Amino acid sequence: MTTSFDLKTTYLPRGYPIDEAIKNPRQLAIWMYENQGAQRFGADNRLFVILADKNNLDQSWKLKRDFDFVFGKIGQFFNEATVSPKDEIVFTFQKKTYTTISKVLIITK
């Protein structure tokens, strides 16, 4: 059985500690779902690709330009990652509770 994912490429939320994101990506996924805009709301399965320049988070956007590096990391992730029950998360959005499957790939440089 294949699990499909919506791919979201983004940056670490402002003020979110990079060390905490790396240590606990599941909490980051919950944060991303719970803090999405109402007009873009979705509870679909998601793969969050987070780009982060560890030396200067404000410059993380520049990683989008390094296609070979980013796509190499994404390819490696797809070759190695598996979906398991531990990828299921529960989150709350506008007083409703949702259950979905989410994976987080943090690409740092």
Q: Is residue 66 part of a domain?
A: yes
Cα separation, 9 vs 61, in Å, equals 11
Backbone φ, ψ for residue 50 (5° rounding): -105, 120
The predicted pLDDT at position 3 comes to: 80
pTM equals 0.89
In a domain, 93, yes or no: yes
User: How many structural domains comprise the chain?
Assistant: 1
Domain that holds residue 66: 6-108
Does residue 1 lie in a domain region?
A: no
Strand order in the sheet with 88-93: 6-11, 46-52, 96-108, 88-93
pLDDT for the residue numbered 40? 85
Q: 16-68, pLDDT tens digit by residue?
A: 999 999 999 999 999 999 999 888 899 999 999 999 999 999 999 999 999 99
